[in-house]
């Protein structure tokens, strides 16, 4: 089974964005050394616990000195961006890293509605508006924007019909050495069907949704149409993962992320990830604990053997040969601010357990 990594570049109490980036650099370097297939960064905005706001910029730094691992976005939230800008950014990544680049694209905003509006320069009472004040919905443009990006990465670039027989050509870079592999991401049947129609690879956000995975993958596979972008369905799933020497330690390391995800669900003000132990214990209410218990059911948490068994079961259940781990182990207050030892250790332990 192939293993990959999803990273939100988490930020804990007292940690700067620069320190969080350096901690993630250790993560991607470890994944590269261990032979993981790909390393993807997410796109979220205005969240104190997440530093991953600009995937292409982050990957240009994080990919330095890696040798074989694929680098990508999981994903670029396309309603926040112009398709040409995204194509230009990922064309530059291919110029630096060749054919190792994945462009994962999603249609969620990755943030709240007001921040999403600000991303595109429109703050009409938290709505996206045109110059006349009319409400815009970039999600409705999502399928066309996917097609636009695919056209931009075609050998001749995109062609825009003009008056008469004139054609205006658009290219994301003067010379495209290698196009990134475009993946469609989602947590619903809509994204699965769109990926199938376009013949694109598809990833279901199992780490976030936790349910509906089999239905979405079934739709994708049954409705897949071969196109120039893909001849057969290609997919994997994402799983929140924590491995430690003991099951007790693994569950202890889960506390900070459990609290943060429960906090997000109840709508309380967001904050950086608390540290493992007393700090997270004092923040967790009974309500947080009840939510956390529900949400962690799909996670892979425990000893290396327990985690390996869960991942193998997921791979068989969903019919995939690749699992993308999101290592969500928390940090102790004594851990260096520019490192995430438990997340790195999770990758090492899982790789060793699955190699047996």
Q: Among 45-54, 96-105, 137-146, 318-327, where is mean pLDDT lowest? A: 137-146
The residue among 287 and 137 whose pLDDT is bigger is: 287
What number is the average pLDDT over the span 296-312? 97
Each residue of 81-125: pLDDT tens digit? 999 999 999 999 999 999 999 999 998 765 666 676 666 665 544
Mean of the pLDDT values across residues 306-318?
Answer: 98
* Domain limits, the chain: 2-355
Instruction: Using the predicted structure, report yes or no on whether residue 191 has a pLDDT greater than 90.
Output: yes
Q: What is the mean pLDDT of residues 314-333?
A: 97
Into which CATH architecture does domain 2-355 fall? Answer: Alpha-Beta Barrel (3.20)
CB 331 within 8 A of CB 342: yes
Region of poorest pLDDT, from 11-15, 116-120, 276-280, 338-342:
116-120
In whole angstroms, give the CA distance from residue 199 to residue 230. 5
pLDDT of residue 129: 56
Q: What is the pLDDT of residue 156?
A: 87
- Could you report the per-residue pLDDT of 41-73, keeping only the tens digit for each? 999 999 999 999 999 999 999 999 999 999 999
Q: How far apart are CA 307 and CA 254, in angstroms?
A: 13
Q: For position 138, what pLDDT does the model report?
A: 64
pLDDT at position 132 is: 67
Q: What are the φ/ψ torsions at residue 70 (nearest 5 degrees)? A: -75, 145
Q: Using CA atoms, how far apart are residues 257 and 49, in angstroms rounded to an integer?
A: 10
pLDDT at residue 343 above 90? yes
Q: Report the chain's mean pLDDT, rounded to a whole number.
A: 92
Instruction: Count the neighbouring beta carbons within 10 Å of the beta carbon of residue 327.
Output: 25
CA distance 254 to 241: 9
In this predicted structure, the answer to whether residue 135 has a pLDDT above a threshold of 60 is: yes
The dihedral built from the CA positions of residue 101, 111, 234 and 32, taken in this order, carries a sign that is: positive
Q: Could you give the CA distance from residue 78 to residue 99 in angstroms, rounded to a whole number?
A: 22
> What pTM, to 2 d.p., does this model score?
0.92
- Dump pLDDT digits (tens) for 196-244: 999 999 999 888 766 789 999 999 999 999 999 999 999 999 999 999 9
Q: What is the mean pLDDT of residues 244-264?
A: 95
162 confidence band (pLDDT: 50, 70, 90): confident
Does residue 334 contact residue 342 with C-beta atoms inside 8 Å?
A: no
Q: What is the pLDDT of residue 133?
A: 64
pLDDT score for 116: 66
């Amino acid at each position: 089974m192939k293993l990959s990594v999803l990273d939100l570049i988490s930020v804990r109490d007292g940690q700067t964005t620069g320190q969080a980036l350096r901690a993630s650099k250790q993560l991607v370097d470890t994944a590269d050394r261990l032979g993981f297939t790909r390393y993807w960064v997410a796109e979220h905005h205005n969240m104190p616990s997440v530093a991953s706001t600009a995937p292409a910029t982050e990957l240009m730094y994080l990919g330095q000195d890696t040798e074989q691992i694929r680098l990508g976005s999981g994903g670029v939230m396309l309603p926040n961006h112009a398709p040409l800008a995204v194509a230009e950014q990922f064309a530059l990544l291919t110029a630096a890293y060749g054919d190792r680049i994945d462009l994962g694209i999603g249609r969620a905003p990755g943030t709240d509605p007001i921040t999403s509006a600000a991303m595109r320069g429109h703050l009409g009472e938290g709505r996206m508006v045109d110059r006349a004040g009319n409400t815009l919905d970039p999600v409705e443009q999502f399928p066309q924007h996917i097609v636009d990006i695919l056209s931009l990465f075609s050998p001749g670039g995109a062609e825009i019909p003009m008056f008469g027989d004139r054609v205006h050509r658009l290219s994301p870079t003067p010379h495209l050495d290698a196009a990134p592999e475009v993946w469609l991401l989602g947590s619903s049947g809509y994204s699965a069907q769109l990926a199938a129609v376009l013949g694109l690879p598809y990833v279901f956000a199992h780490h976030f949704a936790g349910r509906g995975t089999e239905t979405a993958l079934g739709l994708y596979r049954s409705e897949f149409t071969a196109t120039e972008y893909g001849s057969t369905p290609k997919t994997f799933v994402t799983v929140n993962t924590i491995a430690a020497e003991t099951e007790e330690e693994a569950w202890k390391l889960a506390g900070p992320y459990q609290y943060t995800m429960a906090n997000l669900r109840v709508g309380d003000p967001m904050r950086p990830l608390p540290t493992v132990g007393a700090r997270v214990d004092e923040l967790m209410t009974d309500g947080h604990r009840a939510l956390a218990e529900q949400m962690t059911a799909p996670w892979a948490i425990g000893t290396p053997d327990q985690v390996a068994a869960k991942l193998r079961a997921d791979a068989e259940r969903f019919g995939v040969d690749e699992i993308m781990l999101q290592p969500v182990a928390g940090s102790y207050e004594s851990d260096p601010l520019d490192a995430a030892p438990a997340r790195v250790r999770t990758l090492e332990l899982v790789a060793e357990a699955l190699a047996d």
